[in-house]
């Protein structure tokens, strides 16, 4: 008969609040501002990916040229090795800028993409709202 498994490091660590988690996640990559994201997309150096839910897209509009991918499908659609990947998901070297409404959920999404090997994935500081406030194109 085998002994019951002992506690793991995860079991003995104190819980982490969302603010601390975001700080930890964001320390792992360089985030990008609206103007730099726009310029990178225009130069063909970045794929903008809008993960906002439909009601926000309907209310506030879309970033021209951004790929809309629902958050719950993001990893499946952008994994270059995945069977459900989008044609734009061509390699692990792809620079992806994840955009949510205000720049919180996109940080967690970018971290998830990093775990899939998409090391150039980042997110937009301030999200769509910062993009719009910067006067960048919205349709």
Please tell me the distance from the alpha carbon of residue 118 to that of residue 128, in angstroms, as a whole number: 22
Could you give the 3-state DSSP secondary structure of residue 119?
coil
How deeply is 10 buried, as exposed, middle or buried, from its count of CB atoms within 10 A (0-12, 13-18, 19+)?
Answer: exposed
Please tell me the distance from the alpha carbon of residue 115 to that of residue 131, in angstroms, as a whole number: 26
Average pLDDT value for residue range 109-123: 97
How deeply is 103 buried, as exposed, middle or buried, from its count of CB atoms within 10 A (0-12, 13-18, 19+)?
Answer: buried
Tokens at 126, concatenated:
């301030």
pLDDT in tens, 29-81: 999 999 999 999 999 999 999 999 999 999 999 999 999 999 999 999 999 99
Is the pLDDT assigned to residue 2 strictly greater than 80? no
Please tell me the distance from the alpha carbon of residue 52 to that of residue 46, in angstroms, as a whole number: 18
Please tell me the distance from the alpha carbon of residue 66 to that of residue 76, in angstroms, as a whole number: 17
Q: Which of 1-10, 14-23, 128-137 has the highest mean pLDDT?
A: 128-137
């Amino acid at each position: 008969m085998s002994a019951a498994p002992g506690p793991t490091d995860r079991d003995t660590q104190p819980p982490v609040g969302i603010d601390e988690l975001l700080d930890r996640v964001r320390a792992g990559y360089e985030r990008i501002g609206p103007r730099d994201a726009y310029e990178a997309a225009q130069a063909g150096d970045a794929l903008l990916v809008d993960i906002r839910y439909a009601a926000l897209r309907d209310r506030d509009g879309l970033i021209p040229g951004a790929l809309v991918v629902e958050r719950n499908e993001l990893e499946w659609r952008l994994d270059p090795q995945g069977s459900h990947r989008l044609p734009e998901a061509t390699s692990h070297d792809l620079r992806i800028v994840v955009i949510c409404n205000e720049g919180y959920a996109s940080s967690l999404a970018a971290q998830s993409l990093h775990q899939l090997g998409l090391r150039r994935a980042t997110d937009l500081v301030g999200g769509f709202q910062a993009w719009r406030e910067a006067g960048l194109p919205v349709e």
